[in-house]
């Protein structure tokens, strides 16, 4: 019989992607029961509708939940300023954690959580779901097998709509305020592409510099535009252009060059992955299924890891690595000086 575990969802009125998370938990057979902590009760009706009989009980706060139940995994989704306390409580009760990014306002908040997780042999994983996408997995295999040879450089682009920033509801949301969100576009969306660049190449970003701006002039105090340059610990260089620039939708690119060829990914277009080898002028295209993708396979990975059946989506150290990278960039943009990123 395959193992099943209980999952706690720690959220509130600021929880993001709850529809995707509830749908995943309902579908995943390894999830036996779900316990919900929902102070204020704003998400309870939605949870009952989405989870059905899998929702075992609703609690007014996380402390009461852990006093009554012993889930193996806690899924934490709330604004960045509130997440560290919830993560700490889950770890204190021996619970693995799968957390919506950025899950903190600073490295100094997140690093002790990773230390606690490691001391208790638990995993703290950020929900960077793009890692599970089939074309990402295929590209990672191409690179790890040496198809591109020695990596020479990386170029990243991720753009989303400026339209969302023009709405009064957004101006009032936690996403628009640094003291609640930690940052803007980079910590909410750019974090995915920076993590993928390290995941794909097997190298960590060691130094970063760049600029932020508020291109759209909206009444928010986080960046809606960022330009980064960075050096990986393997010696090659990379760049990222990121921002809320569009009327709607997304534009993105991941391009990696090596001594034997290159690959290019345009995830929001009809060319999810193409590559060329030996500089022969021929292009090869990823023709396999693009499913499964999104939050369900990422949550499944976290559930199976908590059950001891799989590796986590991100290790605790990988989660800390991307947090260090994000906040080093903010330090660089603020100071005008290149920042080195600790490997510890």
Question: What's the rounded Cα separation, in Å, for the pair 344 and 336?
Answer: 24
Q: Where are the beta strands (DSSP E) in the chain?
A: 5-11, 31-37, 55-59, 73-77, 96-99, 124-126, 151-161, 205-213, 225-232, 237-246, 251-258, 261-266, 271-277, 284-285, 339-340
pLDDT digit string (tens) for 37-70?
A: 999 999 999 999 999 999 999 999 999 999 999 9
pTM, 2 dp: 0.97
Residue 180 contacts residue 79 (beta carbons within 8 Å): yes
Q: What is the pLDDT of residue 342?
A: 84
Within 13 Å and on the Cβ side, how many CA atoms surround 2?
9
Take residue 23 and report the two structure tokens written for it.
Answer: 């749908």
Buried b (16+ CB within 10 A) or exposed e, 46-71: ebeebbeebbeebbebbeebbeebeb
Q: Put the strands of the sheet holding 96-99 in their side by side order.
A: 55-59, 31-37, 5-11, 73-77, 96-99, 124-126
Q: Where are the beta strands (DSSP E) in 12-95?
A: 31-37, 55-59, 73-77
pLDDT tens, position by position, for the chain (344 residues)? 789 999 999 999 999 999 999 999 999 999 999 999 999 999 999 999 999 999 999 999 999 999 999 999 999 999 999 999 999 999 999 999 999 999 999 999 999 999 999 999 999 999 999 999 999 999 999 999 999 999 999 999 999 999 999 999 999 999 999 999 999 999 999 999 999 999 999 999 999 999 999 999 999 999 999 999 999 999 999 999 999 999 999 999 999 999 999 999 998 888 899 999 987 889 999 999 999 999 999 999 999 999 999 999 999 999 999 999 999 999 999 999 999 998 76
């Amino acid at each position: 019989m395959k193992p099943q575990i209980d999952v706690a969802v720690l959220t509130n009125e600021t929880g993001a992607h709850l529809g995707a998370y509830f749908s995943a938990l309902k579908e995943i057979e390894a999830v036996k029961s779900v316990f919900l902590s929902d102070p204020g009760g704003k998400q309870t009706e939605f949870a009952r509708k989405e989870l059905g009989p899998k929702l075992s009980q609703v609690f007014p706060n996380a402390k009461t939940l852990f006093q009554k139940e012993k889930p193996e995994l806690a899924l934490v989704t709330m604004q960045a300023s509130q997440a560290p306390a919830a993560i700490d409580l889950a770890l204190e009760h021996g619970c693995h954690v799968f957390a919506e990014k950025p899950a903190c306002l600073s490295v100094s908040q997140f690093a002790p959580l990773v230390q606690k997780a490691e001391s208790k042999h638990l995993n703290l994983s950020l929900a960077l779901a793009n890692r599970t996408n089939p074309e990402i997995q295929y590209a990672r295999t191409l690179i790890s097998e040496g198809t591109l040879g020695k990596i020479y450089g990386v170029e990243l682009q991720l753009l989303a709509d400026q339209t969302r920033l023009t709405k009064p509801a957004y101006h009032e949301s936690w996403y628009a305020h640094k003291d609640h969100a930690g940052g803007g576009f980079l910590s909410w969306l750019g974090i995915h592409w920076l993590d993928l660049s390290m995941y794909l190449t097997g190298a960590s970003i060691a130094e970063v510099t760049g600029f932020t701006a508020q291109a759209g002039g909206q009444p928010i105090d986080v960046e809606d535009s960022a330009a980064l340059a960075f050096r990986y610990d393997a010696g090659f260089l990379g760049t990222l252009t990121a921002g809320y620039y569009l009327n709607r939708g997304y534009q993105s690119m991941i391009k990696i060059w090596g001594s034997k060829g290159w690959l290019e990914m345009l995830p929001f277009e009809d060319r999810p992955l193409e590559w060329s080898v030996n500089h022969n002028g021929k292009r090869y295209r990823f023709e396999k299924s693009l499913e499964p993708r999104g939050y369900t396979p990422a949550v499944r990975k976290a559930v199976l890891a908590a059950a001891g059946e799989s590796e986590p989506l991100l290790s605790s150290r990988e989660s800390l690595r991307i947090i260090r990278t994000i906040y080093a960039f903010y330090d660089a943009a603020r100071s005008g000086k290149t920042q080195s990123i600790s490997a510890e």
